[in-house]
């Protein structure tokens, strides 16, 4: 195992130290219990947005804390949910009196721990709602979850709901926007290699040099099938068609197309994949009006990518375009 780490036990703590030093003025990093929040939190009168989950998916979630997006993020150990205590502290830190929305990826540990944290925060007088993200069309149940997994669509929920909160929408309205995005977004991924969790010291699963896993999860969970390596266009077709058919997306739809890298895939390859995805959508009469390409929801150093498609309307487009200033996503400000 070759990694730029010191002691595997200190990976998350030392990374958080680095985040604090890299983004002064933008973020406040609390070491114990570990969480990250906006430097100006709480913003009085604004709905607070909190998300989180296991580390190893950076920049998700800490990279999306800031103006127009999340108010706080709670990092757990690598690929492991944070416990309720830091979620409660993050919730309290961003409570500006208008309530707090938890954005939770659909993994059993995340759901249970955020539910417990919401109950504890409510006992302290904070109104908390939760939206559970389940955009992955690959499998219904997996090693880590009941129902569909929450994957790269989470970024789009965080951005659009964050913009709604930033413009002053109340808790009911921000929750409704987050639920709307989740209902209209679909994702699917593919892995070429396995990630290596630092404390494990070996790949999470075994895959041949000439094999790929279709429908992989962001922790290395199995997908729909394992097939031989194919040209990029054929791989894109394999994962995009199930996305289109699931909602289903239809001719005349306007969409945001998001091609996400899993951490070990060069950007040049992601653009090759984006090119084919855009072609397929155009062939189906689906217009790509907004785009995002890059490493936003990773799986450590896994080689692979995912495709996410969000059906847009005027309101969602306006909220996507709204200014945002975070470590990993920034425009308009």
Give the catalytic positions in this structure: 57, 219
Query: Could you please report the per-residue DSSP string of 269-326?
Result: HHHHHHHHHHHHHHHTT-EEEEEEEE-SS--TTB-EEEEEEEE--HHHHHHHHS-EEE
Whose CA is closest to 137, among 153, 148, 129?
A: 148
Answer for the pair 294, 260: CB distance below 8 angstroms, yes or no. Answer: yes
Q: What is the largest CA-CA distance in the chain?
A: 55
- Which value, to the nearest 10 degrees, does the dihedral of the CA atoms of residues 256, 259, 261, 267 take? -120
306 neighbors 188 (Cβ within 8 angstroms): yes
Inter-residue contact 267 to 293 (CB < 8 Å):
yes
Closest CA to 101 of 178, 33, 27, 184: 178
Distance from chain centroid for Cα 272: 22
Pairwise CA distance, residues 152 & 24, whole Å: 27
Q: Count CB atoms within 10 A of the CB of residue 165.
A: 29
User: Which one, of 89, 97, 96, 37, lies nearest residue 67 by Cα?
Assistant: 37
Decide: 50 and 40 in contact? Cβ < 8 Å: no
Backbone angles phi, psi at 256, to 5 degrees: -95, 125
Please list the alpha-helical segments (H only) found in 53-107. 84-93
């Amino acid at each position: 195992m070759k990694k730029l780490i010191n002691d595997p036990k200190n990976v998350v703590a030392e990374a958080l130290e680095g985040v604090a030093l890299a983004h002064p003025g933008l973020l406040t990093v609390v070491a114990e219990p570990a969480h990250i929040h906006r430097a100006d939190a709480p913003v009085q009168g604004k709905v607070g947005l909190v998300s989180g989950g296991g580390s190893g998916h950076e920049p998700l979630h800490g990279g999306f804390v800031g103006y127009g997006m999340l108010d706080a993020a709670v990092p757990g150990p690598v690929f492991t949910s944070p416990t309720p205590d830091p979620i409660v502290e993050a919730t309290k830190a961003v409570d500006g009196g208008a309530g707090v929305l938890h954005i939770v990826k659909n993994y059993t540990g995340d759901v249970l721990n955020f539910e417990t944290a919401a109950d504890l925060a409510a006992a302290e007088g904070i109104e908390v709602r939760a939206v559970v993200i389940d955009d992955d069309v690959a499998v219904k149940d997996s090693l880590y979850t009941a129902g569909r997994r929450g994957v790269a669509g989470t970024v789009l929920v965080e951005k659009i709901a964050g913009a709604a909160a930033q413009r002053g929408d109340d808790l009911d309205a921000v929750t409704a926007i987050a639920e709307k995005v989740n209902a209209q977004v679909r994702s699917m991924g593919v892995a070429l290699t396995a990630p290596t969790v630092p404390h494990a010291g070996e790949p999470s699963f075994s895959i041949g040099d000439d094999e790929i896993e279709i429908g992989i999860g962001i922790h290395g969970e199995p997908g729909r099938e394992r097939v031989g390596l194919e040209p990029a266009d054929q791989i894109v077709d394999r994962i995009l068609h199930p996305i289109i058919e699931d909602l289903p997306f239809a001719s005349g739809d306007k969409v945001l197309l998001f091609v996400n890298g899993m951490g070990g895939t060069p950007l040049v390859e992601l653009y090759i994949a984006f090119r084919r995805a855009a072609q397929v959508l155009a062939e189906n009469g689906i217009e790509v009006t907004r785009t995002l390409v890059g490493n936003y929801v990773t799986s450590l150093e896994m080689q692979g990518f995912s495709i996410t498609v969000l059906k847009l309307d005027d309101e969602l487009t306006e909220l996507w375009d709204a200014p945002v200033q975070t470590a990993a996503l920034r425009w308009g400000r």
